[in-house]
Structure 1
Amino acid sequence: MMQLLQLLNIVLVMLSVFNQGDCMRDNIIGGHVAKPHSHPYMVLIPYESQGNIWRECDGFLVREDFVMTAAHCKGMRMFVFPGVHDKSKLDKNLRVEATPFVHPNYTLNENEVKNDIMLLKLKQNVTLTNKVGLLALPEKKNAIPTTDCLVSGWGSTVFNHPKNSDLLREVNVTVNTSLNCDTPATICTRGSIGPFQGDSGGPLVCGEVACGVVSACKFDGETYTHYYTRIAHFRHWIDKMMNTIH
């Protein structure tokens, strides 16, 4: 039975996980270090949780003033670092304060997570360069192809170890629309490779388009299922927010 970790009390840094011990083993399983700045849309998101504890999520730029990430990454204070590859060498001059806007129907309980998507409105626009770029969003009715997609993140690399990877890593995953977990609001991949702790909020990129947001995972005793919030399902809300928030 799926069992989610609670956001703030039990080390949530990556996924609202349905099974703590096994789905939290490593970061980008089966992946490798990405070529520096080959994913210029990726941003690191430090956020303050309860007890003045700072955690991290990932996200991606969808406009010069907006970042998309997972709703379970919401903090009391949030910042964005664009243009990062090695987070051990963060330039504090690039840090941008962000205001979170969580989907109004987002829910997290012991059994499931729903509508796990959030927009961050940046206090100041980022400057687009060869190291800082935007990721395209899907059309409202885009079908998800049964093909190789890409996930990247700074997730942890050691089982039950809180230290995440300093270097951005990536892995190819295959989306199969025949999976039972595939719903109008969710995309799934299944197997021994994929995102884990520390990779929450990053994009599932298919054909240079952000099709999903890394959300959660489940281990059923035999295999891992990775859950991504399907972005196309939320385009009306996304467009409304990006066009009305100033």
Structure 2
Amino acid sequence: MASKKQLAVGVALFLIALISNGEGIIGGREAAPHSRPYMASIQVPEGDTLKHECGGFVVADQWVMTAVHCMPNGANGRKVVLGLHSLSEAEDTKQTFDIMELHNHPNFNIENYDNDIALIKLDRPFNASTAIRAVELLRAGGTNPDTGAAVETAGWGSLDNLGSRPDKLKEVVIEVINRGKCRRTDYFGRKFTDNMICAHKVCQECVRSHRIEDSCDGDSGGPLLYNGIAVGITSNGGKKCGQIKKPGVYTIISHYTEWIDNTMGTRSAAAPQEAS
């Protein structure tokens, strides 16, 4: 039989594993099929198939918003799939698009992911349906969620730090974290800027194990929603998922209203291009 010391060590290792790996978008649940019709999957060619790489969301006819760090060096043959719930199953609602234009924010900072916002112009307008439609964006002057506010995110990202991926869309309700806390050196320090929101949630049923609900690798580029309006873009969801002092970081969309309008307005009439 194991000694009390061995049992204590085993329990400690189990708790460390929980803190390190978390569970589930991390945590959350499977979304109802097509209940989030703005969701997009950015997929990279892999042999004769396509593999989910990043998220995105429909913001206007022919336009999808995502994060710069998903495609910092251009589209390079990637596709955008709309109207899907399952990544692998055949669904009549799915529509696949080439990327005609990629506009990465010119002030994106690879060191801290500041200004991590990008716009994709699809090669053609999508056929609107109950499974595909745009989500409203919070614009300049709008009210962003404050500390403790419940916000939502969704994606096909990793279920844990080991990289296991779901086949079907997952969603999670999390809470906005105090900005001062996110600026602490044991959180993000100076890398956390005024253009960012951080959020996660400690699972209330398992406070003792400190299990965290969070976004993770593969969720990047997806939306953060507050009262049904997109207020953020998943930015650092792939970094140390599910850890208490490394909550998800999201780009604040309302800080980029002018750039968004210019990109989808005057620039959309320009010749197709890939902007860096």
Q: Helix, strand or coil: the match of 1:89?
A: coil
- Deviation per CA, 1:140-190, whole angstroms, max 9, x where unpaired? 1222123211100001224423x4211000000112454443743111114
Report which stretch shifted further, 125-134 or 140-149: 140-149
Verify: 1:215 aligned to 2:215, yes or no: no
> 2:132 corresponds to which letter in structure 1?
V
Unaligned runs of 5+ in 1: 1-21
- Deviation per CA, 1:187-240, whole angstroms, max 9, x where unpaired? 111442110011010000101111000001565975332100000001110010
Task: Specify the alignment match of 2:221 in structure 1.
Answer: 201
Q: What is the RMSD computed on CA atoms of the aligned residues? A: 2.6
Q: Helix, strand or coil: the match of 2:236?
A: strand
* Contact 2:52-2:87 at 8 Å conserved across structures: no
Inter-partner Cα distance in structure 2 for 1:100 and 1:23? 35
Question: Against the structure 1 CA distance between its residues 183 and 94, is the aligned structure 2 distance closer, same or farther, given a 3 Å change threshold?
Answer: same
Question: Against the structure 1 CA distance between its residues 23 and 54, is the aligned structure 2 distance closer, same or farther, given a 3 Å change threshold?
Answer: farther
Q: 1:105 pairs with 104, 107, 111, which one?
A: 107
Question: Against the structure 1 CA distance between its residues 97 and 176, is the aligned structure 2 distance closer, same or farther, given a 3 Å change threshold?
Answer: same
Question: Against the structure 1 CA distance between its residues 164 and 190, is the aligned structure 2 distance closer, same or farther, given a 3 Å change threshold?
Answer: closer
Inter-partner Cα distance in structure 2 for 1:132 and 1:88? 18
Unaligned runs of 5+ in 2: 1-18, 183-191, 202-211, 270-276
* Contact 2:158-2:217 at 8 Å conserved across structures: yes
Question: Against the structure 1 CA distance between its residues 211 and 177, is the aligned structure 2 distance closer, same or farther, given a 3 Å change threshold?
Answer: farther
Verify: 1:189 aligned to 2:217, yes or no: no
> 2:122 corresponds to which letter in structure 1?
L
> How many residue pairs are counted as aligned between the two chains?
219
Structure ID, larger Rg: 2
Question: Against the structure 1 CA distance between its residues 24 and 185, is the aligned structure 2 distance closer, same or farther, given a 3 Å change threshold?
Answer: farther
Verify: 1:238 aligned to 2:260, yes or no: yes
Task: Specify the alignment match of 1:77 in structure 2.
Answer: 77
> 2:215 corresponds to which letter in structure 1?
P
* Contact 1:58-1:199 at 8 Å conserved across structures: yes
